[in-house]
Amino acid sequence: MAIRSWGDRDKLVNAIAIQPDGKIIVAGQCANGPLGSTGLVMCAVRYKDDGDRHQSFANGATDFTIELEGIAPVPPDRIKDVYVSTDGRIVLGGECQVTSFFFPCAARLTAAGAIDTGFSSGTRKPKFLSGIGSGNDFINAMTVQPNGEFIFAGHCNNPSSTVRVPCALRLSAPNASQFTTGTNFSGATVPTGGGRLLEPATAGHFEITRLALQSDGKTLALLRDGTPLGSLSNHAYTVSRYNEDGSADASWTQTPIVFQNTATGAVAVGQQTSGKVVVMGYRSINVATGVPEVYRLDNRPSASRNCSADIDGDGKVLPTTDGLLLTRASLGMTGNAVISGTVGAGARRGTWAEIRDFLITQCGMKTIMP
């Protein structure tokens, strides 16, 4: 599906999120923000599932686009990720310039797409968050843990040198007006407190470009080596895995991935249900042509439980499939009596043995009959 044009001004998309009703939120930065301001401002638009713009979003503003004001007079603000909370409100996370430095920042929209001014202290500006390093904090990713804590990650200046290093900030779920400090990364190489993770300076600089959460609480971080390789000036990428306390997972090692030719790089990381890790990127064939490139890394499935209300694994939670499967199995029914007419199209678990094993091993329902 190709979505329709997003207005007539320069805009760059950095993030996308799918709402439970299928609507699509697209966010990034827009040139020349509200009231004729210059620079780049955070902005977002919502599409219906047919690709047409949702015209009630942002109260029907120009291009049906919500735009924030910058904190700095000529802002270079950018949204890097979007999160739709369980109450329908939308959190936009990224980086903003405050004075002469960049900091993590966030804004929150109502479910209708209006700026939550209670969160933004009565303004249309994003809220800048705690600093991480000693200078610029460049944020490339935001993710949300199952306990509601937010992690902002990227690369920051290390106080002991001018080198930029992987860094992160963990904050508790926001209340009506602000974020508060989250759980400390107590296992980090150099614990700093305040919910901050700041790696020590090393030769060259590395930056976290994307994050992906595993079901066991560990975090996959896609790292870009900031030091160019050879005459083509391409960069190596690796995936690091952090434990929940911020320590490096000693059981994880990976050979760096190099996307050949200029104008190349990795843009996303994720994990399949098998446990294998997928890195998505692109490489240029020539000046005018680029192609996608995908790498898959071996990794065993998580040893922790991964229970879900999506019992048949078709990507949907429905009363006519998952609800009936759970009810029938809970009542002591077995075999075809459980799965008859209740498995969704494209389900990963379609037999009684697969459903039974999932409920017992992943959801702890040890009273399920064989």
Q: Which residue has the higher pLDDT, 164 or 186?
A: 186
Interval 6-15: pLDDT, tens: 555 577 889 9
- Residues 64/55, Cβ–Cβ less than 8 Å: yes
Q: How far is CA 170 from the centre of its chain?
A: 14
Question: How confident is the model at residue 329, as a pLDDT?
Answer: 94
Average pLDDT, integer, range 277-286 = 85
Question: How confident is the model at residue 80, as a pLDDT?
Answer: 96
The CATH label, of 3.40.50, 2.115.10, 2.40.70, 2.40.160, for the domain at 11-297 is 2.115.10
Question: Lowest-confidence range among 10-14, 106-110, 213-217, 357-361?
Answer: 10-14
Average pLDDT, integer, range 5-33 = 81
Which tokens is 118 given? 């209670």
Considering the chain, tell me which residue range(s) the CATH 2.115.10 domain(s) occupy.
Answer: 11-297
Rounded (10°) CA dihedral 6, 8, 11, 17: -10
Question: How confident is the model at residue 230, as a pLDDT?
Answer: 64
Distance between CA atoms of residues 297 and 82, nearest Å: 26
% pLDDT > 90, the chain: 49
Q: Which residue has the higher pLDDT, 205 or 359?
A: 359
Average pLDDT, integer, range 311-336 = 93
What pTM does this model have? Answer: 0.86
Average pLDDT, integer, range 15-38 = 82
Q: Is the pLDDT of residue 1 over 50?
A: no
Question: How confident is the model at residue 234, as a pLDDT?
Answer: 75
- Residues 156/133, Cβ–Cβ less than 8 Å: yes
Rounded (10°) CA dihedral 308, 276, 156, 282: -120
- Residues 22/81, Cβ–Cβ less than 8 Å: no
Average pLDDT, integer, range 301-328 = 88
Q: Which residues share a beta bridge with 17?
A: 25
Q: Is the pLDDT of residue 220 over 90?
A: yes
Q: Is the pLDDT of residue 155 over 70?
A: yes
Interval 84-117: pLDDT, tens: 998 999 999 999 998 889 999 999 999 988 999 9
Rounded (10°) CA dihedral 228, 234, 240, 246: 50
In which element (H, E) is residue 328 found?
Answer: helix 324-330
Distance between CA atoms of residues 368 and 351, nearest Å: 15
Mean of the per-residue pLDDT values for the chain? 86
Question: Lowest-confidence range among 158-162, 267-271, 341-345?
Answer: 158-162
- Tokens 């005459």, located at residue: 231
Closest CA to 79 of 33, 27, 123, 121: 27
In degrees, to the nearest 5, what angle opens at C-alpha 84 toward C-alphas 345 and 140? Answer: 110
- Residues 224/237, Cβ–Cβ less than 8 Å: yes
Q: Is the pLDDT of residue 302 over 80?
A: no
Q: Which residue has the higher pLDDT, 92 or 51?
A: 92
